[in-house]
């Protein structure tokens, strides 16, 4: 499993908003995070759809977190951008294994599933507020 650049940048964007504690314009978010404006806007749209960020239009518009930093985890941000966290393709529902008759009896899948759960749980334990101060 590799976290994409987009998910990495989304974490930076969300942290930037947490650190600010209020509204910021897209241009300022872009400048503070080092993410291009175009890419920052794409990320912000996804974070808005996931109800992690709110947007405001007009002269006093901008973006702010829709939740407290303690309520936004790295895992939620990553899955918002990259989809479900999976360390191996055999854990995906649409995967058809050709080695065993049933995925439920595969020992490799059991190990991958266990490790995947540990990683996912840990990423969901880490919240934005842990990086503040």
pTM of the model: 0.90
Selection from 44, 8, 7, 10 nearest residue 24 by Cα: 44
Number of Cβ atoms within 10 Å of the Cβ of 87: 16
Q: What is the pLDDT of residues 67-82, one digit of tens each?
A: 999 999 999 999 999 9
Cα separation, 77 vs 112, in Å, equals 22
With a cut of 90, say whether residue 88 has pLDDT above it.
no
Selection from 131, 103, 107, 118 nearest residue 1 by Cα: 118
With a cut of 90, say whether residue 123 has pLDDT above it.
yes
Domain boundaries, the chain: 5-131
Tokens read off for 38:
């175009």
Q: Which CATH architecture has domain 5-131?
A: Orthogonal Bundle (1.10)
């Amino acid at each position: 499993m590799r976290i994409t650049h987009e998910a990495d940048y989304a974490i930076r964007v969300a942290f930037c908003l947490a650190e600010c504690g209020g509204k910021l314009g897209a241009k300022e978010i872009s400048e503070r995070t080092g993410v291009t404006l175009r890419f920052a806007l794409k990320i912000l749209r996804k974070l808005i759809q996931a109800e992690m960020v709110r947007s405001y239009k007009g002269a006093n518009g901008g973006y702010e977190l829709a939740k407290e930093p303690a309520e936004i985890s790295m895992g939620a941000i990553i899955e918002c951008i990259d989809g479900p966290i999976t360390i191996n393709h055999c854990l995906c529902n649409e995967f058809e294994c050709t080695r065993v008759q049933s995925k439920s009896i595969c020992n490799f899948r059991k190990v991958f599933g266990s490790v995947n759960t540990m990683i996912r749980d840990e990423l969901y334990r880490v919240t934005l507020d842990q990086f503040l101060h």
